[in-house]
Amino acid sequence: MKNTFRILKFLIIGILLFSCDDSLEQLPQDGLNAASAFRTVADLQAGLNTAYNDYDANTVIEFNSIFTDNTKLGIDNGGQQVPLHSLFLDETSGDSFDLWRTRYGMINNATRVIEAVDLITREDGDEDEVNHILGQAYALRAFAHFELFQYYTPDYLNPDGISVPAIDYIVTVEDNARNTVSEVLSLINEDLNTSSQLLDPSEAGNPIFINQDFITALRARISLFTADYSSALARANELIDDYPLANRDQYVDMFLDADNTEVIWKAQRVNGDQLAGGIWNFQNFGPFIEMSNSLYDLFDQDDVRFGVNYSEEFSNPNAGVYIIYKYPGSTFQYLSDMKTFRVSEMYLIRAEALARNQNFDDAESTLKQLRDARFGFDTDRPSFNNLNDALDFIVTERRLELAYEAHRYLDLKRLGLPLERADEDCSELSNACTLSPNDRRFTLPIPGAELNGNDLMIQNDGY
């Protein structure tokens, strides 16, 4: 985020030293004149579309699958993703850089919309539309901050601990220090409160645009990560009351973008986007990353999730070849929308919040509802004697339900669990079978480009 800003500083100093005083009033040729860029409500919407477009779901999907125990090297691997799958992670790692760059780009562009709202010319009757655009911009900024918080914050529960820069202004040449956990969460909550007041309730119903349900889902997820289980339960219940679980046919169609029954919000894919299937398979087909043996063995073949995540047609289980089928297509290169919030996640949040409050009976019932929908028949009710039993079951169910949807790494980190790959999933790699819960790699490194261009930035411990 900062290398170009560092260069710009020296250019500005040169202008000040060698130009007359009148030059201070002139806009640099490469500067962004907000008054020129945003003149109408349509311009404001275009700016919002840019912030939406900044959301790169592939990076988090890729990292949460390849860096964990849900994948192994594929039969056609020729070196693709080997460093990431080998658990190599430092300040030069591309995934860490991409996540940092895209989320702060998203924050900057959302803030441009927020700051430009007073510059545009409005007609009578524009107020609701302008407020709705503004509400979405605040929500996108909150969402981007929370994703940065999840990956770069060492300890979610220490309010005075170090987190990420909380940015509510347009970054140009400034160096930005890291804020505390409480400061970042405060900005996120302020933005969500503002967004909730501005969003037009009549615009609800289209899952590719932010609405009040997006805010509720994000608040539920934030509450889970910050151990506010009462709030997590309340938010999850709100959405469970409004969104039915998909039946088996709807579940299959959901990942073909033919059904939105349980989709709360999804990131729309358009022509030109990086193709989701390309995370694991070549365009003309050929897996360089496959489903891990341990995940394959975990699935029941009567579970509809098995056939959504695994390709029976192209796999060869006798040879240990398990092809990932999520986000498919004729050549496994499908422009599938990324399902960022689904009501099934809310069931899992609800179950965990209930279990944390020692309400095992309702937690068991909640999980049975989810599993009944996925199997299409009356499944056995789980039984928990204590919190550890419940959490073991829930983390397994989260692994099945949310496979390849950018949750696994964060679940291990949040719950303080080790990464433990099966021997057959890491036999070709050295020292890549386990990570202890306190390993530095459960928090991403600040990218080297940011460290080099920002005098106030400090690295996470151990890197």
Considering the domain boundaries, does residue 326 fall inside one?
no
Q: What is the pLDDT of residue 279?
A: 85
Percent of the chain with pLDDT over 90: 76
Within 8 A by CB and 6+ apart from 326, the residues are: 255, 276, 308, 309, 403, 404
Residue listed under structure tokens 């409005």: 122
Q: What is the pLDDT of residue 335?
A: 61
Q: Please check whether residue 276 is in contact with residue 334, taking contact to mean a CB–CB distance below 8 angstroms.
A: yes
Q: Please check whether residue 413 is in contact with residue 315, taking contact to mean a CB–CB distance below 8 angstroms.
A: no
The per-residue pLDDT for range 442-460, each reduced to its tens digit, is: 999 999 999 999 999 999 9
Considering the domain boundaries, does residue 246 fall inside one?
no
Considering the domain boundaries, does residue 346 fall inside one?
no
The per-residue pLDDT for range 113-136, each reduced to its tens digit, is: 999 998 888 888 889 999 999 999
Mean predicted confidence (pLDDT) in 22-41: 53
Measured between alpha carbons, how far is 382 from 362 in angstroms, rounded to an integer? 11
Number of domains the chain contains: 1
Is it the case that residue 18 has pLDDT exceeding 60? no
Is it the case that residue 103 has pLDDT exceeding 50? yes
Is it the case that residue 26 has pLDDT exceeding 50? no
Considering the domain boundaries, does residue 160 fall inside one?
yes
The per-residue pLDDT for range 239-272, each reduced to its tens digit, is: 999 999 999 999 999 988 889 999 999 988 755 4
Amino acid letter at 26?
Q
Considering the domain boundaries, does residue 14 fall inside one?
yes
Band the pLDDT of 280: cuts 50, 70, 90.
Answer: confident
Closest CA to 219 of 245, 195, 244, 198: 195
Amino acid letter at 112?
R
Q: What is the pLDDT of residue 35?
A: 56
Q: What is the pLDDT of residue 275?
A: 56
Q: Please check whether residue 285 is in contact with residue 332, taking contact to mean a CB–CB distance below 8 angstroms.
A: yes
Report the first-to-last Cα separation within the chain, whole angstroms.
19
Considering the domain boundaries, does residue 296 fall inside one?
no
- Alpha helical stretches, state H, 339-426: 343-356, 360-375, 387-401, 408-415, 423-426
Q: Please check whether residue 264 is in contact with residue 243, taking contact to mean a CB–CB distance below 8 angstroms.
A: yes
Considering the domain boundaries, does residue 56 fall inside one?
yes
Domain that holds residue 125: 1-60+95-203+445-463
Measured between alpha carbons, how far is 111 from 213 in angstroms, rounded to an integer? 22
Q: What integer best gives the mean pLDDT of the chain?
A: 89
Cα diameter, the chain? 80
The per-residue pLDDT for range 141-185, each reduced to its tens digit, is: 999 999 999 999 999 999 999 999 999 999 988 899 999 999 999
Considering the domain boundaries, does residue 106 fall inside one?
yes
For residue 183, the domain's CATH number is: 1.25.40.890
